[in-house]
């Protein structure tokens, strides 16, 4: 049995649809810029989608005067795009939704919390706070009545959602799954990463000696996965392998040698029954923090030896979209495979100390891609790798 990718959907700061994202990726157009929509005192650039909530609601086909979490709006737009791309109908087959988010409806709660904590304002906005709330809204609006759940493991959330989706398909509990993740920019995470002192005031520089932190971003990315014995409009690629591991080193930092990342990558290869040299390209987690890139870089060298595949971090385009990055970057990996192209870390200039690694810095067309890996690492030592292939 094979698990096929039959639909993709994405909204990020570089595009409101998959095709807009693809164009920006090919043009090396970054969405990282000063924030305009989100009100915060922090003067840091971010991968912000320059649409207000009511503009997003309009795109999502919802009344523009309604109150929605941005999480739900972004998630709905991308999940719906993936679903209509695959052409699946929940009335005709068992379709589930597995969504991932790290902040849930935080953008709504933080706007109203000053009043709510005083016992004023609209208490019901707090009902949108939990991570499952946006997922339920998305499922309802897409007509999905089957298995619906939400994964929240910080920045690896979406990658972990994909793993559960595959298992549900393999065991015939579902015929198709809309799976991915979403996170909006909000003051909570801007202040959180600011308190950790890892926000770069410039555009992030993943795997670069001069890297000084990450840029936050927002967006959503979803895939439609189907078993190969179900009718599909078209097939982009297969989900070939995956693994999650726990670095078990520290609450926020990854171990210097990259114990967890090594385990996730090598176990994903085992699950895919592949050797390291079967991987043609890696979309690395590559946030641009000192710790992540050092740790991930060491893990790459450990797993792949002196034959580290071509790799790049696309966070230089979108910023770090937290719980959504595994979904968005999985969509980018699908785009890489079907267009046979690598999207570069186009602003790279200097190799990291004691590291031989250099990411792709220019768009590579005709890259001969058969199998690609995508990494996503999160707080709590949570590390995940997935492998997609033609």
Distance of CA 180 to the CA centre of its chain: 7
Q: Identify the residue among 43, 65, 195, 275 touching another protein (CB under 8 A).
A: 195
Residue 106: closest CA among 119, 116, 120, 96: 116
- Nearest approach, Cβ of residue 337 and another protein (Å): 26
C-beta closer to another protein: residue 5 or 383 = 383
Nearer to another protein, 116 or 357 (CB): 116
Token digits of residue 287: 């946030």
Binder to another protein among 16, 152, 312, 321 (CB under 8 A)?
A: 152
Q: Which of 149, 156, 77, 104 is nearest to 326 (CA)?
A: 156
Asked if 196 touches another protein (CB under 8 A), the answer is yes
Q: Candidates 78-86, 187-195, 297-305, 342-350: pick the segment binding another protein (CB under 8 A).
A: 187-195
194 near another protein (CB under 8 A)? yes
Integer-rounded Cα radius of gyration of the chain = 19
Kindly state whether residue 360 participates in binding another protein, applying the rule CB under 8 A.
Answer: no
Residue 310 is encoded by which pair of tokens?
A: 């071509």
Binding mask 70-109 for another protein (x = CB under 8 A): --------------------------------x-x----x
E strands, 184-236, where? 219-227
Of 263-282, binders to another protein (CB under 8 A) are: 263
Separation CA 31–CA 12 (nearest Å):
8
Site string for another protein, 51-70 (x = CB under 8 A): --------------------
d(CA 271, CA 213): 33
Q: Is 111 in the site for another protein (CB under 8 A)?
A: no
Nearer CB in complex with another protein: 21/385: 385
Q: How many CB atoms lie within 10 A of CB 347?
A: 16
CB of 195 to another protein, least distance (A): 4
Interface with another protein, residue 29, by CB under 8 A:
no
Q: How far is the CB of 338 from another protein (least distance, A)?
A: 29
Strand-pairing partners, residue 369, are none
Confirm or reject binding of residue 227 to another protein (CB under 8 A): no
Instruction: Work out whether 42 is an interface residue with another protein (CB under 8 A).
Output: yes
Q: In terms of CB distance, is 30 or 244 closer to another protein? A: 244
In the list 17, 54, 64, 149, the residue contacting another protein (rule: CB under 8 A) is 149
Is the distance from CB of 70 to CB of 38 less than 8 angstroms?
no
What DSSP element (H or E) covers 243? strand 237-246
Query: Closest CB to another protein among 105 and 359?
Result: 105
Decide: 108 and 67 in contact? Cβ < 8 Å: yes
Residue 41 makes contact with another protein by CB under 8 A: yes
Give me 123's structure tokens: 């208490």
- Give the tokens for residue 252: 């926020």
139 touches another protein by CB under 8 A:
yes
By CB under 8 A, which span of 5-13, 15-23, 191-199, 357-365 interacts with another protein?
191-199
Q: Provide CB contacts within 8 A for 222, sequence distance 6+.
A: 7, 8, 9, 10, 75, 78, 79, 81, 82, 83, 99, 178, 179, 180, 181, 327, 331
Angle at 330 between CA 350 and CA 288, to 5 degrees: 25
Q: How close are the terminal C-alpha atoms of the chain, in Å?
A: 15
Asked if 212 and 199 count as a contact pair (C-beta separation under 8 A), the reply is: no
Question: Which of positions 6-25 make contact with another protein (CB under 8 A)?
Answer: none
Residues that bind another protein (CB under 8 A): 40-42, 102, 104, 109-110, 113-114, 116-117, 119, 123-124, 126-127, 129-133, 135-136, 139-140, 145, 147-154, 160, 163-164, 167-168, 170-171, 173, 187-188, 191-192, 194-197, 243-253, 259-260, 263, 378-382
């Amino acid at each position: 049995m094979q698990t096929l990718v039959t639909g993709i959907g994405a909204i990020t700061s570089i595009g409101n649809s998959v095709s807009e994202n693809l164009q920006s990726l090919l043009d090396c157009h970054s969405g990282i810029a000063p924030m305009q929509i989100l009100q915060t005192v922090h003067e840091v650039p971010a991968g912000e989608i320059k649409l207000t909530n009511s503009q997003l609601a309009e795109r999502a086909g919802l009344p523009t005067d309604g109150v929605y979490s941005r999480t739900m709006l972004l998630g709905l737009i991308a999940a719906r795009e993936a679903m209509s791309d695959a052409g699946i109908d929940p009335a005709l087959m068992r379709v589930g939704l597995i969504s991932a988010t790290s902040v849930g409806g935080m953008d709504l709660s933080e706007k109203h919390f000053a009043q709510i904590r005083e016992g004023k304002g609209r208490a019901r906005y707090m009902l949108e706070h939990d991570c499952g709330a946006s997922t339920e809204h998305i499922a309802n609006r897409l007509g999905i009545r089957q298995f619906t759940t939400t994964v929240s493991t910080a920045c690896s959330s979406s990658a972990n959602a994909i793993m559960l989706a595959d298992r549900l398909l393999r065991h015939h509990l579902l015929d198709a799954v809309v799976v991915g993740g979403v996170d909006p920019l909000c003051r909570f995470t801007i202040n959180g990463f600011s308190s950790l002192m890892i926000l770069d005031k410039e555009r992030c520089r993943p795997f670069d000696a001069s890297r000084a932190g990450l840029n936050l971003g927002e967006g959503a990315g979803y895939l439609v996965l189907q078993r190969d014995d179900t009718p599909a409009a078209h097939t982009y690629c297969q989900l070939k392998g995956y693994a999650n591991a726990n670095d078990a080193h520290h609450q926020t930092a990854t171990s210097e040698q990259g114990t967890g990342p090594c385990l996730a990558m090598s176990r994903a290869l085992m699950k895919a029954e592949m050797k390291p040299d079967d991987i043609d390209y890696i979309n690395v987690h590559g946030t641009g923090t000192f710790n992540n890139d050092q740790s991930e870089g060491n893990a790459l060298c450990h797993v792949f030896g002196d034959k580290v595949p071509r790799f790049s971090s696309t966070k230089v385009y979108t910023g770090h979209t937290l719980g959504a990055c595994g979904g968005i970057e999985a969509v980018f990996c699908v785009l890489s495979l079907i267009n046979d192209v690598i999207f570069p870390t186009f602003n790279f200039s200097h190799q990291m100390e004691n590291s031989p690694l250099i990411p792709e810095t220019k768009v590579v067309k005709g890259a001969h891609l058969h199998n690609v890996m995508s990494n996503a690492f999160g707080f709590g030592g949570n590390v995940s790798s997935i492998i997609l292939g033609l």
